[in-house]
Amino acid sequence: MVINISRKLLSSLALFAAIIIFMQDVSAKQVKYIEIDGVIHPASSRFIQRAIDEANDSEAEALLIQLDTPGGLMESMRDIIKSILASDVPVIVYVSPSGSRAGSAGVFITLSAHVAAMAPGTNIGAAHPVSLGMGQEDDTTGVMEEKVLNDAVAFIRSIAEKQGRNADWAESAVRESASITETEALELGVIDVIAPSVDSLLVMLDGREVALPLGNRKLELTGVVLEEISRTWRDQFLEVISDPNIAYVLMMLGMYGLFFELYNPGTVVPGVIGGICLILAFFAFQTLPINVAGLLLIVLAIILFLLEIKVVSYGVLAIGGTISLILGSVMLIESPIPGVEISWGVILPGVIGTVLFFLVAISLSIKAQKRRPTTGLEGMIEETGEVIEKLDPVGKVKVRGEIWNAKSTVGKLPKGSQIRVQKAERNLLIVEEFKE
């Protein structure tokens, strides 16, 4: 009896201990974690904002953003910064791993973080704004650039001052494209800490106090669980089509599809695929610095190719279309930011493929124009037949098993004579005597 009681007691204690361990594991503090590697655009902006929302909803101890970016679009950057500054959960921006950088838009994002950190061997700076997709220069361009510059300076100074960072250096990063190493950034008060790894960063930040919208908060990072927020299929899809090379390929495929549909009405499938590709391409173009002149040159190239098919110009229109397509492809996306351009490895195959595609279409069109008609009145020309009612010079003939009114060019032809059609006028065939 005593043994049974002891066994039950031990079992209960073991179960209680397991529950305690489980509850401790469930209640363990979390630090949400994401990686941003590449250009800042609407797709990456949505992902970061979703991560901030998820960190707030789960009441995480902090959100850690590992950043490596050459820069990106101003509007996307501003949306990210708005979310960071409004977050009730501390946002840590960590420029890492070694060799990474926070350039252009990345400077603004790093300075806006509640904690800014960098790994050894990284750099930050060169935040001068650039005019994207203008495609022209006139007297107003300089004024607009100055307005954009002054706006960027005011913005970066405001976020630097709010987070207690070096606003003077921040201004120089915008006005003079100043760039510094992680050591210089720490010395100048641009960042808060240098850490060789995420684990060491969390240890160094444990107990640090940060200012949030609801007041100051001390980071409690001892024993936290690092949980990565993964990209959803939607995030991944938007990332893919935001690639300038993918957007360009989608546009070309869309044009091919629509051309096929126009050339062979009723095919349906090419038209549907082409329409979908064009819609996706135009969606991607909204996230990219598109040069309108480049886009118009590509449209002009397609028009010239189509005209070459309808109006044979002995290659003049085709040559013009090729030149227009090359220039348009090069000019389509105008950006000094690395990664926001169309690769020559995509442009050349695209241009060559398009030229070959239309050359084949043009050659088929020319052959079709030279081919003798086989239907209707025109299809009767050069056909042979037999007189079934004397031609004097008008009578009736039988051609292709059909009876036609006919007129002889050689005078009278008796019934049974063999004839050949010279031409057709309305419902009258003009014929001549045919001798084999």
Residue 179, H or E segment: strand 179-181
Distance of CA 261 to the CA centre of its chain: 24
Residue 36 has phi, psi (to 5 degrees) of -120, 110
Question: Catalytic one among 6, 11, 82, 147?
Answer: 147
Instruction: Tell me whether residue 98 is one of the annotated catalytic residues.
Output: no
| pLDDT score of 338 | 60
Question: Catalytic one among 44, 76, 100, 104?
Answer: 104
Query: SS3 for 386?
Result: strand
Asked if 406 contacts 392 with a C-beta cutoff of 8 angstroms, the reply is no
Query: pLDDT digit string (tens) for 72-107?
Result: 888 899 999 999 999 999 999 999 999 999 999 999
**Left (φ > 0), alpha (ψ -120 to 50) or beta: where does 189 sit?**
left
Query: pLDDT digit string (tens) for 230-243?
Result: 988 888 888 888 88
| pLDDT score of 2 | 46
| pLDDT score of 132 | 45
Query: pLDDT digit string (tens) for 128-137?
Result: 876 544 444 5
**Which residues, listed in sequence order, are joined to residue 398 by a DSSP beta bridge?**
386, 403
pTM: predicted TM-score of the whole model, two decimal places: 0.70
| Confidence check: pLDDT of 309 > 80 | no
| Confidence check: pLDDT of 306 > 50 | yes
Query: pLDDT digit string (tens) for 37-69?
Result: 988 988 899 999 999 999 999 999 999 999 999
330's tokens: 């090069």
Query: pLDDT digit string (tens) for 25-41?
Result: 445 689 999 999 988 98
168's tokens: 């003077």
Confidence of residue 185 (pLDDT cuts 50, 70, 90): very high
Strands (E), 234-317: none
Asked if 276 contacts 242 with a C-beta cutoff of 8 angstroms, the reply is no
| Confidence check: pLDDT of 22 > 50 | no
Report all structural domains of the chain as residue ranges with CATH numbers, in order of start.
2-231 (3.90.226.10), 243-370 (no CATH), 378-433 (2.40.50.140)
Residue 231 has phi, psi (to 5 degrees) of -75, 135
Distance of CA 390 to the CA centre of its chain: 74
Polymer length of the chain:
436
Instruction: Tell me whether residue 8 is one of the annotated catalytic residues.
Output: no
| Confidence check: pLDDT of 4 > 60 | no
